[in-house]
């Protein structure tokens, strides 16, 4: 994919690096000449110095051929303008970083396909780290309606030795949850399990669930689910 990023700050540069590692072609637009130079020399991406809401710069950067655009500029008003222009030029996938919640609806009206709230993500990550320290990582989808958690299987965990099918059929396991990933050891590849996959101590699982069932999933895996 050809991805255009507006903003060469910390998020923009790290996003560019991640996308490059995933095999995508990336171009960055930013006013800062030093940031653009860093992007070219250290990341190996195309970098265009100028305003990311300038039609001249956007056309030079190839917005008409972009498969996706990420607006991560320093101000919501600038991001909103970039989203509007991206929609105008027919970019199919438009992702925007939102600083202030008041911009969420304007972003969607302007054509953003994904709105990411930096504050909400930071707060949710910190709160979850405090409440669920055993959860290694958590991802949110569909505006927080779905969560995917990465959870280690402790040595004395009661699910050790049970298959994915047995766990799914257990009445104590939340019905709106599903084990979608399994990593046997730390350095093994993550695989998609089937019903016969046996959970082993020291392994790691990915579970998709709804926010209201997160606590139940963690309690079930760790053997703290109420008997019934």
pLDDT of 74 above 60: yes
The pTM score is 0.66
The answer to whether the CB of 71 falls within 8 A of the CB of 96 is: yes
pLDDT of 162 above 90: yes
Tens digits of residue pLDDT in 77-132: 999 999 999 999 999 999 999 989 899 999 999 999 999 887 776 676 677 667 66
Work out the mean pLDDT of the chain and round it to a whole number.
89
Domain, as residue range, for 215:
132-222
Please state the domain count of the chain. 2
Asked if 99 and 138 sit in the same domain, the reply is: no
Residue 108 within any structural domain of the chain = yes
Asked if 141 and 111 sit in the same domain, the reply is: no
What is the average pLDDT across 10-20?
93
What is the average pLDDT across 213-223?
85
Residue 227 within any structural domain of the chain = no
Output the 3-class SS for the chain: CEEEEECCCHHHHHHHHHHHHCCCEEEEEECCHHHHHHHHHHHCCEEEECCCCCHHHHHHCCHHHCCEEEECCCCHHHHHHHHHHHHHCCCCEEEEEECCHHHHHHHHHHCCCEEEEHHHHHHHHHHHHHHCCCEEEEEEECCCCEEEEEEECCCCCCCCCCEHHHHHHCCCCCCCCEEEEEECCCCCCCECCCCCCECCCCCEEEEEECHHHHHHHHHHHHCCCCCC
Cα–Cα nearest to 167, from 208, 136, 195, 203: 195
Residue 228 within any structural domain of the chain = no
pLDDT (0 to 100) of residue 128: 67
Asked if 16 and 91 sit in the same domain, the reply is: yes
Percent of the chain's residues with pLDDT above 90: 64
Distance CA 150, CA 206 (A): 5
Where does a domain end: 91, 116, 141? 116
pLDDT (0 to 100) of residue 146: 80
What is the average pLDDT across 191-201?
93
Q: How confident is the model at residue 219 (pLDDT cuts 50, 70, 90)?
A: confident
pLDDT (0 to 100) of residue 175: 83
pLDDT (0 to 100) of residue 225: 55
Residues facing 151 on adjacent strands: 135, 205
pLDDT (0 to 100) of residue 131: 66
Asked if 156 and 184 sit in the same domain, the reply is: yes
The residue ranking higher by pLDDT, 147 or 125, is 147
pLDDT (0 to 100) of residue 137: 67
What is the average pLDDT across 193-205?
92
Asked if 49 and 90 sit in the same domain, the reply is: yes
Distance CA 65, CA 63 (A): 5
pLDDT (0 to 100) of residue 185: 84
What per-residue string of b and e applies to 13-44 under the rule 16 or more CB within 10 Å gives b? bebbbebeeeeebbbbbbeeeebbebbeeebe
Cα–Cα nearest to 69, from 120, 130, 28: 28
């Amino acid at each position: 994919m050809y991805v255009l990023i507006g903003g060469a700050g910390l998020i923009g540069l790290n996003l560019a690096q991640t996308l490059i590692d995933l095999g995508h072609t990336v171009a960055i637009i930013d006013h800062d000449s030093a940031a653009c130079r860093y992007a070219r020399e250290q990341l190996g991406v195309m970098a265009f110095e100028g305003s990311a809401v300038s039609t001249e710069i956007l056309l030079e950067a190839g917005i008409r051929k972009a498969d996706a655009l990420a607006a991560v500029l320093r101000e919501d008003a600038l991001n909103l303008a970039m989203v509007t222009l991206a929609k105008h030029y027919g970019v199919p996938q438009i992702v925007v970083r939102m600083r202030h919640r008041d911009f969420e609806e304007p972003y969607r009206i302007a054509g953003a396909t994904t709105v990411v709230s930096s504050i909400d993500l930071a707060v949710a990550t910190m709160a979850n780290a405090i409440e669920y320290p055993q959860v290694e990582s958590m991802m949110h989808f569909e505006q927080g309606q779905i969560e995917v958690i990465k959870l280690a299987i402790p040595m004395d965990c009661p699910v050790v030795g049970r298959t994915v099918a047995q766990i799914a059929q257990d009445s104590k396991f939340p019905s709106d949850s599903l084990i979608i990933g399994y990593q046997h050891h730390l350095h093994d590849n993550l695989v998609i399990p089937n019903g016969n996959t046996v959970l082993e101590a020291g392994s790691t699982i990915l579970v998709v669930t709804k926010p209201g069932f997160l606590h139940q999933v963690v309690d079930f895996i760790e053997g703290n689910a109420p008997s019934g």
